[in-house]
Chains A and B, each alone.
Chain A
Amino acid sequence: MSAPVLSLRGVSKNFGGVRALVDVDVDVREHEVLAVVGDNGAGKSTLAGVIAGAFRPDGGEVLLDGAPVVLDSPAAARTHGIAAVFQQLALVDDLDVVENVFLGQETLRGPFLDEIAMEREAWGLLDQLAATVPSVRQPVRTLSGGQRQVVAVARALLGAPRVLVLDEPTAALGVRQTAEVLNLIEKLRERGHAVVLISHQAGDLQAVADRIVVLRLGRVHGEFSGDTSYEDLLAAMTGAVRPARPGGPARAASGPEPRERRAGGTGAVHR
C-alpha cells in the first residue's frame, strides 16, 4: 500500500461555540477514492476546507508526504498540489467556460494570458474528462448542472493537482448527470489522483469509494472499506456504532453489554 500523500492528525476546528471538527485523523492516498459521509452539519465541508486550505485548523496538524505543512489559503494548497471543488461551485454565470476555468488562477499562468492557449488548455482538460460541453465560449449560465460540475472540476484540474477534493458533487444533479460525475471520479482515480469525495448520499459514495470515513458531530465515527454494506454505514452515521479508535475497527454499541443485561433479567431493555 502506498504512503499517504496527505494526512490530518488530531485536527480540530471550532466556529465560535460549534465544534465542527474534533480530533480528526484522516489519510489520503494517490490512486484512491476516499469518501467522507455524514449527516448535515457533521463537519464534511469543514474537513474539505481544512484539506484545501480554506480553513486553518485550531489544533492538530496537516502532513504532506509525511512533513507538516501550513495550508493558509486555497492558493497555498494549490501550490502544494491540492485542489477543491466546493459545495457552492463558485462559477461566474456570465463568464464563459474558458474564463471560469482560469478565474482567479492567473498566477498559475503568468500575468499575460494568451486567449488561444487558454482555450486550448480548457479543451484539453474537458477532453480528459470526456466532457460533453457544447462550446467553451458559451456562458456557463447556459450549461446543465452536470456540465457546470465538469467545468468546476476542469478548473480544479488545472496544474495537475495530486489531491482533488469534491464536496457534494452530485447534489442537485439528475440521475444521468450523477452517472457522468461518478464515471468522472472513477477516471480521476484511474489516472492516479487522490480523490476525496464528500457526500451524504451513501449510495453514490459506495459506488466509487475505496475507503469510507464516517463523520458524526465532527468526529470520525469509523472507517470502512468501500464494499461495506449500506446498513453498517447507516449505523455509523446515525450513531448506533461507537467511534472507532484510530486504526481499529468500528464496534457495534449493541455489543455484549445489553445482551448481558437482558440475560440478567431486566427484560425489556432495547437500544
Chain B
Amino acid sequence: MSAVQQRGSLTQIELAGVTGLSPATVSNIVKELTGAGVLHTSPSTRSGRRALQVTLARNLGLVAGVHFGSRSMRVALADASMRVLADQRMPLAPDHRADTGLQRAALLVAEMVASVDAAPDELLAVGVGVPAPVDVRAGSIATVGMMRGWDGVVVPEVLEAELGAPVTVDNDANLGALAETRFGAAVGHDAVAYLRVSHGVGGGLVLGGRVVHGRAGVAGEIGHVTIDENGPVCRCGNRGCLEMYVGAGVLLSMLSESRGHLTLRDVIARAQEGDPGCRRVLFDAGQHLGVAAANLCNLVDPEIVVVGGQLAEAGEALLGPLRTALEQRTVPSTAGPVQVVASELGSAAEVRGALAVALDLARVSGSLGVSA
C-alpha cells in the first residue's frame, strides 16, 4: 500500500521490485485490494512491454499541495495515487503577507476542489511549503524577519480553520528535495542534496528517504552559508551569506543599470540568446553556488546534488561553473566527483513535495481508510 502511495503509480513488476515480494504474491495482493476497492489497475505498455499499472482508487479522496514562493504561489490537487488532478500558479506581490497569502491559498484550494467535481470533505490533508526555515512540529517559521508578516504565524492553524482538513508545513526546498528523491532526478539515491536557486536560495537534505530537519528546522539552509564574512548584511541578519551573491534581487540589480528591470526568466532567456552580461551573471552565480555546495558535500558526501528553482532553468550556463567550483573544492574521492544534475520536476518540485507530505499526513491520521 505505502509503496503505491509513495510513488503514485507503478507497475506490478516494479511493485515486486520495490517490496521484495515475489511477482506472484504481488499479483495476488493487488487482486485482493482491487476487489476491496482500495487499488485500481489499468493496462499499460511501459518501455514496450505490456504491464499492469497499479494506482490507489480515486474514491479515497484528495490531497492539496501549496507552495509559497517569493513571487508566486502554486497549488496542486492530487488523488491518493499522487495523480495530479489540478495545478494552478498565481503571481504574488514581492512582500505578500501571511494573512492575505494564506487566505488566497485557501480560496484557491477550495475553488480547485470544486473544479474537479469533488465535495469539500473529500480533501484529506494539505501540505504547505514556504521559503524560510520551518519548525515542522510547531507549524511556524523557525526564525524571525525572513518573510515579512509571517513571523509567529502558525500555518496549519490558519488553514485548518479555513479548509477543515489537517495541514502540515515545511521549508519549500525540503519539499523539493523530497519530491526529487521520491519522483524525480534522485530516485533510488540514499543521500540527496537539493539546492533551490530562485528568488532566494534554499536547500534540502534527504538521508535514507527522510528529510533532515535538524534541531528546529534550519538544516540545509545553504543560502545562509557564509561566502564572505565581511560581506553585505543579509535578510537573516548575518554577513556575506550565499544569498547575497546569487539571490534574484542581487543578480537583477547587477543588470538593472545597463538593462533595465528584468525578471529571472528574462535573464535566462537573454543568456540563451547570447547576452554576455546575462551569461556572466549566471556564470558567477554558478561559481558561488559551487563553493557553497562543496562545503556541504565535504560534510555530508551526498550521492547526488540536484539543482532546482527557477535559475536551474538556465541549464549548463549555471551548472557548468557550479560543477567546476564544486570539484575544485571537494575532497577528491576514489568514487569520482559527485553527480550534479538539474531538477527533473522543475518548477513543480516543491508543490509535488507538498502533495507527498500531505498524503503522508492523510495516511498517519488514518483518513485514507487503510493503515500503512
Contacts and interface: CB of A to CB of B under 8 A. Distances in A.
Contact of A183 (B91, B265, B266): B91
B104 interface: yes
Interface in B32-75: 71-72
Nearest to A229: B95
B93 A206 contact: yes
A233 to B, nearest CB: 10
A32 B261 contact: yes
Contacts of B91: 179, 182-183, 186, 207-208
Contact of A179 (B90, B95, B259, B260): B90
A32 B256 CA distance: 14
A183 B115 CA distance: 19
B161 interface: no
B108 A179 contact: yes
A176 B94 contact: no
A107 B91 CA distance: 37
A226 B93 CA distance: 9
A117 to B, nearest CB: 32
B89 A206 contact: no
Contacts of A208: 91
Interface string B101-127: 000100110011001000000000000
Interface string A75-97: 00000000000000000000000
Contacts of B261: 32, 210-211, 225-226
Nearest to A210: B261
A23 interface: no
Contacts of B115: 176
Given A176-B115, A210-B261, A230 B108 contact: no
B94 A206 contact: yes
Interface string A221-235: 000011101100000
B20 to A, nearest CB: 44
B18 interface: no
Interface residues of A, number: 26
A116 to B, nearest CB: 32
B3 interface: no
Contacts of A190: 265
A179 B91 CA distance: 7
A67 interface: no
A175 B104 contact: yes
B94 A179 contact: no
Contacts of B100: 203
A57 to B, nearest CB: 28
A266 interface: no
Contact of A175 (B71, B72, B96, B107): B107
Most buried by B among A206, A210, A229: A206
Nearest to A230: B95
A2 B94 contact: no
Contacts of B89: 179, 183
A207 B259 contact: no
Contacts of B112: 176
A41 interface: no
Contact of A182 (B90, B107, B108): B90
Given A175-B104, A175-B111, A179-B108, A207 B88 contact: no
A105 interface: no
B108 A203 contact: no
B254 interface: no
A138 interface: no
A1 B265 CA distance: 17
Nearest to B101: A203
B260 A178 contact: no
A68 B266 CA distance: 31
B364 interface: no
B92 interface: yes
Contacts of B90: 175, 178-179, 182-183, 207
A163 to B, nearest CB: 17
B93 A230 contact: yes
Nearest to A176: B111
A175 B92 contact: no
Interface string A11-47: 0000000000000000000011000000000000000
Interface of A: 1-2, 31-32, 174-176, 178-179, 182-183, 186, 190, 202-203, 205-208, 210-211, 225-227, 229-230
26 contacts: A1-B259, A1-B260, A32-B261, A174-B107, A175-B90, A176-B88, A176-B108, A179-B88, A179-B108, A182-B90, A183-B91, A186-B91, A190-B265, A203-B93, A203-B96, A206-B93, A206-B94, A207-B90, A207-B91, A207-B92, A208-B91, A211-B261, A225-B261, A226-B261, A227-B94, A229-B94
